[in-house]
Structure 1
Amino acid sequence: MSGSLKVQLVVFDWSGTLVDYGCLAPARAFLEAFAKSRLMLTIQQVRWSMGLHNYEHILSLLQIPQVSEQFQMVHGRPWNDADVLNIYDDLGPLLLDATRQYSRLTPGALEVIAQLRERGLKIATTSDYARNVAECVYDAARLEGFEADANVAADDTPSARPAPWMLFRLMTELNVYPPASVVKVGDTMPDIEEGVNAGCWSIGCTATGSEVGIPLAEWQTLPDVDRAAHLDRASRKLNGAGAHFAIPTLAELPRIIDRINQRLETGEKP
């Protein structure tokens, strides 16, 4: 099998990868949801665990010592499970509003997808968004000319990232096997861990994603030395999570898939 095995399926994350340059929608929504509970978080705190199921993301933020202390000071008691649910309920409408504003495809995404389809590859997506929010992103992408062969949202499986279940569901639905023939592309550590845990190749996307977190217009004005520093920091973090490759944008993806196919030809696995 090793001599004939090639990449069959590429699975993309949405915000910060396929859409929403800078991963702005979830960051904004999380800041506003916590503010409704009178908790002032920093953008760095919000981005630290980006990519988890939204409920798990909220839970991880409340477990940050500074946030727990702030909650105690503001509310006069420790936070509990009901507080997690309250913030989660506040987050839903905010995410819907933010995704409507920030769901443009990242530059070059359509062209890259076309190249992959010309090679006969299947295209699918996973998301940290619940199904009702994810559907808004799917609709926006269709208006720009993109529709995946299959999509799995965070609440479609028993647990989301970094568990492998969303990827396994896609592999089952699209009849793709083995996991070594699947590539997962995303911009957060849970994205990378999702692919690694499924036995797939994991590729980190840096310039467009949450680890850099800079809107396109602002990114284009940065000096080259500052861009390089941002990309290096993001690459090191994603590589540390297990990424097999880190690329600035999706434009690099076809070349990386060629490299993966070359490695598969020699019998190498993720």
Structure 2
Amino acid sequence: MKYPVELVVFDIAGTTVKDNGEIVVAFHDAMKEYGYSIPIGTIGLLMGYKKPEAIRMMLDEYEPDTAKVTPEFVDAIHERFLELMIEYYSTTNDLSPLPHVEEVFKYLKDKSIKVGLDTGFSRDITDVIIDRLGWVRDGKIDYVESSDEVPAGRPQPYMIQRMMAEAGIEDSSKVIKLGDTEVDVNEGKNAGCLFSIAVTTGAFTKEQLELYEPSFIIDELKELINILEN
């Protein structure tokens, strides 16, 4: 292998787990219940952010009375979003890895490279997804970090740094980050990763991702193997 990589960190929804737009729909429905009709396209651009932060960003744009935008109000909308997402991920028959994801995980593990996941979800949603997929139980991944477990979510580097600490890795140039959104790309850059790779399987198109200058833009995760080998 060409690069001395010790850890690869993947996003979850839209990168390793199929996303059919249910996150955007849950945001839309939760916001609508509180009186805000947010265009789907606007919500899509906020994918990847810590979810309460995304809600606050929507309120900053659509709520003219700034006094109404309190932490308690944001929390109430977030709680409704959580209920909708946990119900979805707990019951759907459509929860599945994206193509070649587990093949890539196996390749990395066979090369003694640690596999991590990080996400803008809070831990309660993350646990439902990971438990149903069995990725920790079956030893397919090593670390999982959620945005509510660190001081700030993406694009801040804290989730990657926390995984590095757990893995005993001090040099961020031995880490690669992959994700499908603007904040994934910038998280990898802010962490000083060797590569911050964007994938077109999720919320952003290739043209949108190009604006954030990722190291590479790929259309499916198995292209990571070619990057590492060649």
Per the normalisation by structure 1, the TM-score is: 0.77
Are the structure 2 counterparts of residues 193 and 183 from structure 1 closer, same or farther at C-alpha, using a change threshold of 3 Å? same
Match of 2:130 among 120, 134, 138: 138
**3-state SS of the aligned residue for 1:11?**
strand
How far did residue 239 of structure 1 move? 2.9
The answer to whether the 8 A contact 1:14-1:125 is kept is yes
Which residue of structure 1 aligns with residue 208 of structure 2? 237
2: CA distance, partners of 1:124 / 1:112: 12
Q: Is the 8 A contact 1:193 1:242 kept in 2?
A: no
Partner of 1:112: 104
Structure 1 alignment gaps of length 5 or more = 212-233, 260-270
- Give 1:63-74 correspondences, 5 Å limit: 63-64=60-61, 67-68=62-63
Partner Cα distance (1:257, 1:97) in 2: 38
What is the deviation of 1:172? 0.5
The aligned residue for residue 31 of structure 1 is 28
Identity, % of aligned positions: 28
The answer to whether structure 1 residue 183 and structure 2 residue 160 are counterparts is no
Structure 2 counterpart SS, 1:155: helix
Counterpart position of 2:198? 204
Cα RMSD, aligned residues only: 2.1
Rounded Cα–Cα distance in structure 2 between residues aligned with 1:33 and 1:21: 18
Task: Tell me how far apart the structure 2 counterparts of residues 248 and 157 of structure 1 sit (CA, whole Å).
Answer: 30
Q: Aligned residue for 1:161? A: 154
**Counterpart selection for 2:55 from 54, 58, 71:** 58
Letter of the 2:63 counterpart: S
**Residue of structure 2 equivalent to 1:216:** none
For 1:135 and 1:11, the matched residues in 2 are separated by 17
- Asked if the contact 2:59–2:69 (Cα under 8 Å) also holds between the matched residues in 1, the reply is no
Moved segments of 4+, more than 3 Å: 143-147
Paired residues, what number? 224
Query: How much has 1:25 moved relative to structure 2?
Result: 3.0
Question: How many angstroms apart in 2 are the aligned matches of 1:12 and 1:146?
Answer: 16
Task: Point out the structure with the larger helix share.
Answer: 1
- Separation (CA, whole Å) in 2 of partners of 1:164 and 1:116: 22
Q: What corresponds to 2:224 in structure 1?
A: 253
Deviation, structure 1 residue 109: 1.0
- Alignment match, 1:16: 14
Contact 1:12-1:126 within 8 A present in 2 as well: yes
Alignment correspondent of 1:80: 69
- Kept in 2, the 8 Å contact 1:68–1:78? The answer is no
For 2:67 and 2:57, the matched residues in 1 are separated by: 15
> Which segment drifts farther, 96-105 or 191-200?
96-105
CA distance in 1, matches of 2:33, 2:130: 28
2:87 matched to 1:92?
no
Superposed CA deviations along residues 59-105 of structure 1, whole A, max 9, x for unmatched, are 111222xx236xx6xxxx86411432221121111111223325311
